[in-house]
Structure 1
């Protein structure tokens, strides 16, 4: 059976014989011979009963040549040349490796590239000024009131405002805009720069104002640690990466050149965000420190998460009978998080400070605004 020579220019191969000579390779076709240097070898691979030789860096052109041959002796001679070091060290190791070894190496390299890429994205926020977060907050505050049913009941708003002011650290660079929104979704979330939204369905599940203080402290920690901005960077980085690798390159991302579209893109990510385990635990730690500094008991946060854990356990047992709050999916109360909170409170010098609102009044205050099927105005 004759060997096949593919020049990379035409689909039809030339037939001939591949020879391994002392100083190089020679492919003898019917009417022409092609000579190559050993150092031009890129790879040698075995596929069932045939062998595939790839040659590059040719003096005559920039194309890559593929030679398919069938001689086991020729293959053995090529591998011997590789082991003798006549080919570059890295190329030699690669060519002598088996197919599964190569797959393993490529998988490891892919993991390193992806891990390094995500790690780099995690630290890019240091290069984004705080003014970016503050600008986002200034833009979003009126939009929240324009498009969402914001609760206007004075008593619950006074409670929320007083908790926010009490928790505000003098060194915190952000100004917080905490609003209660009428909705039947039991959730709360923070946006870059200081916007915090608490839904009335979540408020209705809180047994004390100290639990509300714990949740607000947790959301404020997300803002101060800039978790929303860091999520934005990761979201945009992955979007651009995918556009450049499997999309249409830089032409595919032209539509985010104006800031309006940019904010629309990032806002979509923010309102549906779910923070990482690392971010959630970081927010827990900072919330506990903030409660301690503000002389507010941290047991409210602890009891809140313990109760969420019970709700989650019931949800897992009765999949179709219990409506799991969205707060559980975006802020999962894992055993690890609860254990850290319990241990930190037990080991630390935490106060038992209250907010001065009696338990008998709290149910009326928390339910002042009621709920709606949707927070969005029609």
Structure 2
């Protein structure tokens, strides 16, 4: 979608933006599996003594919402034993279910979302609360800290997001994109019935779009644009294949491939012709495509590791609010239109030419 946006700014002023992101509980579960439940069959050995005869293991986490908190239900197994004659002798064995309530919490720097425990209850298979003092102590010392330590850290993904976005924008916008991402933060997080409602905030210079015409591309410009588009198309094709592999979904691959082909046609129409008397092909493509693509991306996001899934959800949220931002003036002066696409194309062509001109000449 970055290829639809171009800078054409008039007046500027500082502005703050908020992107609402609904993080599904399946994505929270993926965070747990990635960070804590690394054992076979998605188990987490949260404690084990040096002799190997005593342990505390969590398994099969189930995540839902309850009373505006995250409810986590685990199978819990505990064993206490000692070495005798070179063999482990079991002194106490317990199994049941561990219930925790965890409050989504944003740190003071607003860069990390963590899940500290507010309530913990262990119940055996007969429905009785745990009465063993040593087991209760181990739950307090080892289970609570490790479950509370599961988090989503924006600092871990800023550089990756910056690198991805910068590849699709003119070089002169690179510093501005980096500056925007450096202000990206969690402004709030609240659990609900289906997931965690997160507000991502960022600061940017608001640019009011200049109402200036941009002529259709010439034949020479078309040729240069096609060369750049082919580079992007190869990257998009690889990304489509990876998304299909990640989800084991041929349907997703087919949908994304079809959208890629449609984008080529829409962009060519927007670059070549003056559409003042009819519907803008770039804008029509964006509206129609997003209605098909957003549900697919949401399904994909819920099946990926937490940071990768959060990037998808953030992209979805950003696109959902793009029109609202555009109508008021936007960061980078983004415009979803044939006019905006032509300006972007010319800036990218100029950037490519400048790069070639400054490249060392072969001897």
* TM-score calculated relative to the size of structure 2: 0.25
Q: Mark the structure with the bigger radius of gyration.
A: 1
More strand by share: 2
Higher relative contact order (CA 8 A, sep 6+): 2
* TM-score calculated relative to the size of structure 1: 0.25
